[in-house]
Structure 1
Amino acid sequence: MTVPTIKLNDGREIPQLGFGVFQIEPGDTAEKVRAALDVGYRHIDTAQMYGNEEGVGKAIADSGIPRDELWITTKLNNDGHGRESAVSKLDESLTKLGLDHVDLYLIHWPRPKENRYVETWQGLEDAQKAGKALSIGVSNFQPGHLDRLAAETPTVPAINQIEFHPHLVQRELREYLQQHDIALEAWSPIGQGKGLLDAPELKEIAERVGKSAAQVVLRWHIQLGNIVFPKSNNPERIKENSEIFDFALSEDDIAAVEKLHTGERIGPDPDDFG
């Protein structure tokens, strides 16, 4: 499997397709990640909050794949905000993952009511300078949060990982990220099976191009330039989700998918959560 890459503002290149382990049980994680690696995935997205970093680490160790061929992301838990804590929490993650660095370390949620995300970001800068995180970014940050980081710190996040799918096409935030050269990673890219894939418009496109509705949505993300990491417990679906580079959607198809926008979130509002 040949996966295109996205060049980040720090000069590094991230595989545009990865495998996510959100809501995969810790005891099942190693098996599922191994299945993804066997198919050809080389980008794995985990988080301290998921409780399954050890499983990811076991799969990496068992795979025999050279470390420099893998892209491993983890995210800071909500109880780890603070400059020193952000670094110490990463040290814990590295132990669980069995690694000496991650490729990407993200602040999982801004927690604006706690009002510590700027000093937390400084902790991520420290981790990057120490070589513990080669790239750093954020998750679920809104333009106001990003503006404050830009005003008070020297490092622009390489990535903002946000809820983004055809039911929630965050146009203003997407435009902001493009203007500031911050890559967009889409979590829940196919809507967590909450009815999106039953849309007649998706079924029509899928039938015409000879793919599944999920593959159509993932291809839509790819053509928008998003980074995606669909999660599945099903080995066949893990493989299916990777088979999105042998077809293309037309401009009309892309527009039709975007018209499915309802504005409804699956996850919490970043201004209120945490």
Structure 2
Amino acid sequence: MEALYDSGKARAIGVSNFASKKLGDLLEVARVTPAGYSPLGSPGTGTIKVEVLKHPILNMVAEKLGKSAAQVALRWGIQMGHSVLPKSTNEVRLVRGSAFVHETYGAYRTFEELWDGEI
């Protein structure tokens, strides 16, 4: 990914579904700091303290346009040329990564190993 970034074929390198430990491990070896993700600010996770969807300016714009704060935040990201990948903290919609976990054949032996005990 860093070679793509260096060549100009990628404007940023991002991460998704990284637990704090895995992100820390990456930061120890990465030459290019990964860009953030979660354009809605991770409401409900307790990991990111900024509550994007409660920002007064965002809510003022949303009300004026008759849209939700989330719709405005996502549209802004798209218009700025970013790849927006919203995520859900709703238990029904969570993807836990069970395809990567198996006692014998999986990349990870347990969910605790996959998520570093964070879920």
TM-score range, shorter chain: 0.3 to 0.5
Which is helix-richer, 1 or 2?
1
Which of these two proteins has the greater Rg computed from alpha carbons? 1
Alignment TM-score, normalising by the size of structure 2? 0.46
